[in-house]
Structure formats: structure tokens, C-alpha cells
Amino acid sequence: MQALRHVARPVIRLHKNMAQRAFAASSRAPALTTANLNPAVVGAAYAVRGELVLKADGLREQLQAGAKLPFEQIVACNIGNPHELGQQPLTFFRQVLALVHYPALLKDPRAKDMFPADVLERARSYLTSISGGTGAYTNSQGVKAIRSEVVSFLKARDGVGAKEEDLFLTDGASAGVKMILNLIIRSKTDGVMTPIPQYPLYSASMSLFGGEGLGYYLDESAGWGLTRAELERSYQAGLAKGVQPRALVVINPGNPTGQCLSRESMVEVLAFCAEHNLLLMADEVYQTNVYTDATPFRSFKRVAVEEKSPVALVSFHSVSKGFLGECGQRGGFMELHQVGEEFRAQVVKLASISLCSNTSGQLVTGLMVNPPKEGQQSHELYTQERDAILASLRRRATKLSATLNDCTGIKCNPVEGAMYAFPSVTLPPKAVEAAKQAGKVPDVFYCLALLDATGICVVPGSGFGQREGTWHFRTTILPSEQAMEGVMKRFKEFHEEFMKKYA
């Protein structure tokens, strides 16, 4: 036995050495690179947080470290993020959130002196509706009481009924959009028609889910309007390359273009979707951001019901936009209309896989659709804050488009809604050639130069799609009115110098 033990030990050592060599070999396996990652993710692009933003972040860090640059701060005009640019939260919303997140405040005898009575009442109501408080999971479709508030909001907005079972509270509108695209895209032969220019959420999501984007061009010369003829062209172009269009996306008011759809255009869209059996995805997150009296907001659901349209419709709304600007709360909802029970059941399944949307976002959604009413203690302050923000946005929209149109080689349609302008820039041939030499798309080259010179971060039009041979950029109207003066002065000085340099 002793001899056998002596024989066995080298064998054990040999096995250990083999294991060590195998582990060492595996540790030298190729690193995780774009060559061996999911090509759908690698191929997806999201311009509003792309190259310009990465560079802006680096410049911001340099400023924080004490570097001397031609500007004192980065002005983030690349994304609709109102609070980052100084917009203050609505008092009623944050008071209710504070109490619901920290219910012990409600037991404090001083609470009735610290908070208005309707704030206390709303906080207690929400806490009664949320089993386990804000740290617990909710129903996968969202808190029933908050969905009930959304139902009341939709009935008042549209004049037609809504059902709790057709509503899904989501982590911003983006989560709902991705859920629907994930459900309807089966392969590369499935297409979704999206406006060009378009918000890159749609193109990026379709890349992730393996579908094909089918762009239809908005008419810049007609205020970024859409036509039935262009929808037909896009549809037939998809069929010609073996792609079956399954849905049509409409963003109203428009992002990045800022236009508001007329009722006549909406009726044409509904007729087109009905003829081709397309799901209509109505992105309506900017519905309270309307700065023209000529084209008030109408929901697609309202027009569909009025026209007795059979179209299947999913509409989206968010707390990130409007006059709230609560982007970080990640709240929103989507409503299903005439989609059928089988479709709805699959959406419920997708919502269940994510368990639920975040509770803070659900609460802010409830506050958005059910704000203080006339006669309640918080109503006057809420109304003052809301009206001041909307009036300021309207003034900034007018100021921005006027200033842009006063620049050499820039044309900008009026900003009728949303939070953006999307001007066209006629770049001199020498600038286009310089961009080519630098290995950049011309509008990216222009926007990088703007950032380097002024600290103003905008998004190149190529990130949204644009007609061949045209160049654009998207900028927000969100810097405060006081800051807007300086921002536009620096922009105009840069632009005129750029045009002279490459004239």
C-alpha cells in the first residue's frame, strides 16, 4: 500500500499541472472585442449620446480640472434634458414624492404646517395603493390606482373611453417603444416605417431586434410635413427589397423637427395604415409642448375614434418632456387600442419579464395626469409654475429659430412644438473637403468645430437621417432665456467665422 501511495502522488501532480496549463491557455483566449460581440449591438447607433457627447464629457472634465478653454462651461443642447439646463422641478410633484418615499414624515405633527393639505392627501392615497411602499415591486402593468388616474386623463383629453387593462406604466416612453418593436419584429424581412429625420431610438432598437428600418422623408420645404405619396414610396421600396412593412411610426409633435401634424395629415396616416394593415405607433411625448395656435395637439386615438378607423394603435407618453422635464424619474405609459387580445397578452408577458417599471416613475406619471385641481391648496402655485415654463419655452422657440435664420447659409422652419430646432446648413465646398480629409461626415465636422470653439454641444443631422446632399443639426430650446442670449451670440459668432474660414 505504501508503494502504491508513492506511485499515485506524481499522477495527482500531473493532473494538477494539466489543469493549470488548461486554465492558463483559456486565460489567453481572445479578448471580448467588437469582432466577437453581438453584431446587432455593435451595429446600433444612438446619435444623441454619440461622438459629440463623449468629446463634450472630456472637455467638461478638463474644465473641472482647471484647464483653460475658449469657454467656461459645456452647454448640453444635444438632448431634451430640461433640469440639466436649469429648469426647476414642480413643487407639488417633489413634495408628494418626498412623503411617499419617506412616510415617517406623515406621522410628524408638524407635517400639516410643512405641506399643503392636498399634498398630504395624495401621498396617503398613493401609500394606500402601493403594498409595501416604494421599495416593493408593483403589478407588471403598473399600480392599478395610477392606471386609473391615466384612464381619467385620457377620457378628458380625447373625449372617448379608456381601459386600465390597455394601459402599461413604463420606464419612460422608450421602454414601451422597445417592447412593441421587440414584439412585432421577427426577422430582417420585417420592416418598420419611420420618419426621416427620426429620433434614433427607433433605428437603434430595430438594429437590436434585427428588423429593417424603412424611412419616409418629411418635407422640409413644407414645414416638415408628411404626404401620402411619400408613405407609399417608402412602403413599396420595402416590398421591392423583400421587406414586409409591419408598423408605421409617427412622432407628433416632431423630434427632431419640431412640427405639429394637422388633423388632415393624421387622417391620411390612419387611412394609409388601414389600407396596408399596419400597426400605428404614435409617439406623443411632446403633446404639451405646442407653441403654435394654428395646429393644436390631437391624439391619434381621438382622431381614430372620430373617423371610425379600424387601425391597431399603440400610443406613448412620458414625464420627461412637456413642462415637467422629469427625465431622470423614467416615467411614462403606453396605451393599446384595437390591437386584439392575443397581442395584448404578449405585451403583458413582456412587461412581466421586467417585473415592473420603477415606482418613482409611476408616481410622477400619476401626478402628471392628475395634477392639483382648482380649489385645492397647491393649485395656484402649480398653475404659476406650469404656465411660466410653457410661456418661456414658447419665447425661446421663437428666439432660436429667428436667430438661426439670421445666420449665413442657415434655414430653420418655425419651432411649432417639442423642444428642438433642426436647421439646414449649407456648408461651403472647402468645409466639405476639410471634413473628408479629417475622415468625418461634414455635419459632424461642423458640430465638432462648434463644440471646440464654444462648448455648445448639438447633434449632427446625419444621426437622425437627412436627404442626400443636405446637412443639418439638432439643438434644443432648453437653455434658460438668460443663458439663451449668450448661447446664441457665441453660436452666431462661431458660425460666421466658420463660413468665412472655408469660403
| 116 phi, psi to nearest 5 deg | -60, 155
Strand 410-411 and strand 424-425: pairing?
antiparallel
- Name the E strands within 290-399: 313-318, 332-337
Q: Return d(Cα 282, Cα 287) in angstroms, integer.
A: 11
Count Cβ atoms below 10 Å from residue 221 Cβ, excluding itself.
Answer: 8
| pLDDT score, position 118 | 95
Output the pTM of the full model.
0.87
Mean pLDDT, to the nearest integer, of 322-342? 93
Say which DSSP state 290 is in: B
Residue 453 pLDDT greater than 90, yes or no: yes
Q: Greater confidence, 6 or 63?
A: 63
| pLDDT score, position 147 | 96
Count Cβ atoms below 10 Å from residue 320 Cβ, excluding itself.
Answer: 25
Q: Model confidence over 253-305: pLDDT tens digits?
A: 999 998 999 999 999 999 999 999 999 999 999 999 999 888 999 999 999 99
| pLDDT score, position 462 | 87
Residues, the chain: 503
- Side-chain-side CA neighbours of 79 within 13 Å: the count stands at 19
Q: Which residues pair with 317 in a beta bridge?
A: 333
| pLDDT score, position 48 | 59
Q: Is 168 left (phi over 0), alpha (psi -120 to 50) or beta?
A: beta
Q: Return d(Cα 466, Cα 198) in angstroms, integer.
A: 9
- Report the chain's mean pLDDT, rounded to a whole number: 89
Mean pLDDT, to the nearest integer, of 179-202? 91
Count Cβ atoms below 10 Å from residue 1 Cβ, excluding itself.
Answer: 4
| pLDDT score, position 1 | 45
Mean pLDDT, to the nearest integer, of 72-94? 88
| pLDDT score, position 24 | 55
Q: What angle is formed at CA 61 by the lines to CA 55 and CA 63, rounded to 5 degrees?
A: 105
Count Cβ atoms below 10 Å from residue 74 Cβ, excluding itself.
Answer: 23
Q: Return d(Cα 266, Cα 262) in angstroms, integer.
A: 6
Q: Which of 275-284, 334-343, 374-383, 454-463 has the lowest mean pLDDT?
A: 454-463
Q: Return d(Cα 47, Cα 55) in angstroms, integer.
A: 13
Q: Return d(Cα 261, Cα 265) in angstroms, integer.
A: 6
Residue 482 pLDDT greater than 90, yes or no: no
Q: Model confidence over 388-437: pLDDT tens digits?
A: 999 999 999 999 999 999 999 999 999 999 999 999 999 999 999 999 99
- Side-chain-side CA neighbours of 159 within 13 Å: the count stands at 8
| pLDDT score, position 53 | 83
| 77 phi, psi to nearest 5 deg | -95, 15
Q: Which cell goes with 84?
A: 440639466
Residue 3 pLDDT greater than 90, yes or no: no
Give the Å distances, CA to CA, from 166 to 6, 364, 480.
Answer: 75, 19, 38
Residue 179 pLDDT greater than 80, yes or no: yes
Packing angle between helix 91-101 and helix 117-129, nearest 10 degrees? 50
Spell out the domains of the chain, with CATH numbers in brackets: 47-86+393-501 (3.90.1150.10), 137-369 (3.40.640.10)
